Structure 1
Amino acid sequence: MKWLLLLSLVALSECLHKVPLVKKKTLRQKLIENGLLDKFLKTHSINPASKYFPELASSSDAEPMTNYMDTSYFGTIGIGTPAQEFTVIFDTGSSNLWVPSVYCSSPACTNHKRFNPAKSSTYKATSQTLSIAYGTGSMTGILGYDTVQVAGITDTNQIFGLSQTEPGSFLYYCAFDGILGLAYPSISSSGATPVFDNMWNQGLVPQDLFSVYLSPNEESGSVVIFGGIDSSYYTGSLNWIPLSSETYWQITVDSVTMNGQSVACNGGCQAIVDTGTSLLSGPTNAISNIQNLIGATNTNGMMLVSCSSINSLPDIVFTINGVQYPVPPSAYIIQSEGGCSSGLQGMNVPTASGELWILGDVFIRQYYAVFDRANNQVGLAPVA
């Protein structure tokens, strides 16, 4: 596994602002190396739904643990004047920007970069507080304003969170410092204006959209493009899917099939296109059925699959707005030096519209994704 410094921010042009992303060593790998995986699986409840419905989050200090970032993509941003650099996940499944701060003494803060307001001439304090629960970690802190530099863009007067506590062990082992949320302001904690909204309001991007390419197999070249679409990353045409909710990037799925047979989502279901979730998640019963179909077996918390079966397994096909989006076994089975495991995960999240799927990085690596705020739609096309 490569250990790389995060690439510096670059701008493709005045119109296309790209942030290079780099894949890093996974949380699960770090836990295994430190002999902590078994302890985590036995002592941490698993509740990935808390990211999407905070009222479901655990109120205890023990944070839930799941495979939610088993493959992660990072970029570098600057906050303050002069800029203090942080690595962040660009997360379409949340809406807040936050980084660790000098006010935080949690173990997860002490081994990450921490923002120091006293060293920024443009920082403005507020009396507002912030509290966010994700599927596998949480933070509390305060809100402040400062200049954020990302993808060659200088985003002034941006509100962001400065963590004061990051309880539990999950964030301690993560290679990133903070999170930059790219979902809608309607789900932003404490009503904080998201970074992309602030960019658009200041006229810093030419189009009210951004796009994402996630490279496979630890290759370089992953990018977030603010304000533009780069057709060199995909083949054919973009298919546009209207949002079913302007909160997360939520869409309606017509069906989920394998070998032409329905395996889930009978009568339609909901899905969230989420760059901040590494796996392909769905309702527990549906995922369990698929795990059985692909011959996955539970071994010490990992759903192991025979590597030799990859070439013979069927695609998982998501039909969305009448268009089929196949996810091949080479994508939904994760291959590593230790063998092969399923990239699927069961989770139950109640919605008014039925069962919910999370189309995470396992899915997005197959499809260049455009997140169109102007028209409230997602565009997908097979990667080039």
Structure 2
Amino acid sequence: MKCLVILGLVALSEGLVIIPLTKVKIMRETLREKTVLTNFLDENLDNTSQNAAQDLNISRHPLRNYMDLVYVGNITIGTPPQEFKMLFDTGSSDLWVPSVYCHSTACRIHKRYDPHLSTTFRLSGRPVDLIFGSGRMVGFLGFDTVQIGKLVDVFQPFGLSEYQFVTEHSPFDGILGLGYPSMALQGTIPVFDNLMRRGVISQPVFAFYLSTNKKNGSVVMFGGVDHSYHKGELKWIPVSRTRFWQVTVNRIIMNGQFLGCFRGCQAILDTGTSRLLGPTEPIDNVKRFISARHVGYEWVVPCYLIPRMPDVIFTINGMDYPVPAQAYIRKGHRGLCFSSFQGGTENWHPRETWILGDVFLRLYFSVYDRGNNRVGLAPTL
């Protein structure tokens, strides 16, 4: 049976849900150490007047920030509704939750969906099998009503786990993927595509504002853009491949030197990854620039060196997007801090590819435009 390796996930090619589990592995390790278990816009139009016209059509959904590691929001599934804490993930395309048929530790400590309690549940009978380098989720496919705030998505396909080792140390129960349908389980329609097809949202767009060091205030919005969350105009970037939210990067510079991406490279905007990931060699160069040393799973630096550390500058579609040390270094204890860079993407992507996770997305309000296959970025307020 053919195998696929996608972002650290080794998945069987029959009956699979493809979810990038590198992010889960990274987050699980970090959460364990911290003991946490748990055409809608046009640049030629005036943003203020457009915002007033569209404001009522925007569905805003609050997200909770867990220690700058993951952002979680609630949804309900079923009739009557069963509530779940979910990771809204631009790096995958499928929806899944633990089920009452799952008795592994990761399920017992999370909310489990019970299909017998829902009058709108329909069984597919199709198996779902996820195999990871660090775990597995096995289950089956079902259909039910999914509600995100006031947005109601009927007959939505989703996975119900029967065994999993995915969210054991995570503060979310399951994952709601917001990637392109080309990455979803074959024959199924992702949540956002169903919302578009059924006319539940007025515009084919969603956006993220991710707060820093605050539990509350983060938000995912559907059907429009609230410009009060960013400074200046949105700068639009074409999607280079309609699978992930993937864009072309012109260059990456640190301390006045090319860090990588000498002839251009690719980057994926991924709300489900907490860190900045890249190929091993340029990431090793970062570690040398900041004098980091390896301790356990982490790269450690003295906190007092942060003001002296250079920005990492990503040039995308001709615009510079700097990431300062205050963003890519995480505070620790006893005067030690941790690098948020991690290497190894060459194991999953044949071309030089970077994954711009929450470290980047906390700095830049991000808009995902499925109608025009583009991403909009602007500095956050």
TM-score interval w.r.t. the shorter chain? 0.7 to 0.9
Residues 133, 226 of structure 1: CA spacing in aligned structure 2 closer, same or farther, 3 A cutoff? Answer: farther
**What is residue 6 of structure 2 aligned with on the other side?**
none
**Secondary structure of the structure 1 residue equivalent to 2:167:** helix
**What is residue 18 of structure 1 aligned with on the other side?**
60
Residues 376, 320 of structure 1: CA spacing in aligned structure 2 closer, same or farther, 3 A cutoff? Answer: same
Long gaps (5+) in structure 1 = 6-11, 26-69
**What is residue 359 of structure 1 aligned with on the other side?**
356
Contact 1:349 1:355 in 2 (8 A): yes
Could you tell me which of 75, 78, 102 is aligned with 2:76?
78
What per-residue deviation string (whole Å, max 9, x for no partner) do you get for residues 103-157 of structure 1?
1111111111100000001111112122235675542211111111103211111
Shift in Å, 1:350: 5.7
**What is residue 182 of structure 1 aligned with on the other side?**
178
**What is residue 48 of structure 1 aligned with on the other side?**
none
Contact 1:350 1:356 in 2 (8 A): no
In structure 1, what is the Cα distance between the partners aligned to 2:204 and 2:133?
Answer: 29
Contact 1:97 1:178 in 2 (8 A): yes
**What is residue 113 of structure 1 aligned with on the other side?**
111
**What is residue 50 of structure 1 aligned with on the other side?**
none
Letter in 1 for 2:276: L
Shift in Å, 1:263: 1.2
Runs of 4+ in 1 over 4 A off after TM superposition: 1-5, 133-137, 350-353
What per-residue deviation string (whole Å, max 9, x for no partner) do you get for residues 156-208 of structure 1?
111111111103xx521111100000000001024321100000111000110
**What is residue 319 of structure 1 aligned with on the other side?**
315
Letter in 2 for 1:214: L
Give the aligned CA root-mean-square deviation in angstroms.
2.1
TM-score by length of 1: 0.82
**What is residue 296 of structure 1 aligned with on the other side?**
292
**What is residue 59 of structure 1 aligned with on the other side?**
none
**What is residue 137 of structure 2 aligned with on the other side?**
139
Calculate percent identity across the aligned residue pairs: 48
**What is residue 125 of structure 1 aligned with on the other side?**
123
Letter in 1 for 2:354: W
**What is residue 265 of structure 1 aligned with on the other side?**
261
Long gaps (5+) in structure 2 = 1-33, 39-53
In structure 1, what is the Cα distance between the partners aligned to 2:172 and 2:135?
Answer: 13
Contact 2:37 2:169 in 1 (8 A): no
**Secondary structure of the structure 2 residue equivalent to 1:237:** coil
**What is residue 344 of structure 1 aligned with on the other side?**
341
In structure 2, what is the Cα distance between the partners aligned to 1:103 and 1:93?
Answer: 27
Residues 76, 129 of structure 1: CA spacing in aligned structure 2 closer, same or farther, 3 A cutoff? Answer: same
What per-residue deviation string (whole Å, max 9, x for no partner) do you get for residues 63-118 of structure 1?
xxxxxxx7011000000001000000000000000000011111111111100000
In structure 2, what is the Cα distance between the partners aligned to 1:136 and 1:367?
Answer: 31
**What is residue 195 of structure 1 aligned with on the other side?**
191
**What is residue 252 of structure 1 aligned with on the other side?**
248
**What is residue 154 of structure 1 aligned with on the other side?**
152
Shift in Å, 1:14: 4.6
Could you tell me which of 162, 165, 171 is aligned with 1:164?
162
Contact 2:37 2:168 in 1 (8 A): no
**What is residue 225 of structure 1 aligned with on the other side?**
221
Shift in Å, 1:288: 0.6
Residues 246, 334 of structure 1: CA spacing in aligned structure 2 closer, same or farther, 3 A cutoff? Answer: same
In structure 1, what is the Cα distance between the partners aligned to 2:149 and 2:88?
Answer: 12
Letter in 2 for 1:335: K
Question: Residues 30-49 of structure 1 correspond to what in structure 2 (within 5 A)?
Answer: none
**Secondary structure of the structure 2 residue equivalent to 1:287:** helix
What per-residue deviation string (whole Å, max 9, x for no partner) do you get for residues 32-71 of structure 1?
xxxxxxxxxxxxxxxxxxxxxxxxxxxxxxxxxxxxxx70
In structure 1, what is the Cα distance between the partners aligned to 2:274 and 2:117?
Answer: 35
In structure 2, what is the Cα distance between the partners aligned to 1:285 and 1:259?
Answer: 16
Contact 1:131 1:189 in 2 (8 A): no
Shift in Å, 1:258: 1.3
Letter in 2 for 1:113: K
What per-residue deviation string (whole Å, max 9, x for no partner) do you get for residues 272-293 of structure 1?
0000000000001110111110
In structure 1, what is the Cα distance between the partners aligned to 2:109 and 2:365?
Answer: 34
**Secondary structure of the structure 1 residue equivalent to 2:346:** coil
TM-score by length of 2: 0.83
Contact 2:145 2:155 in 1 (8 A): yes
**Secondary structure of the structure 2 residue equivalent to 1:172:** coil
Letter in 2 for 1:21: L
Shift in Å, 1:219: 4.3
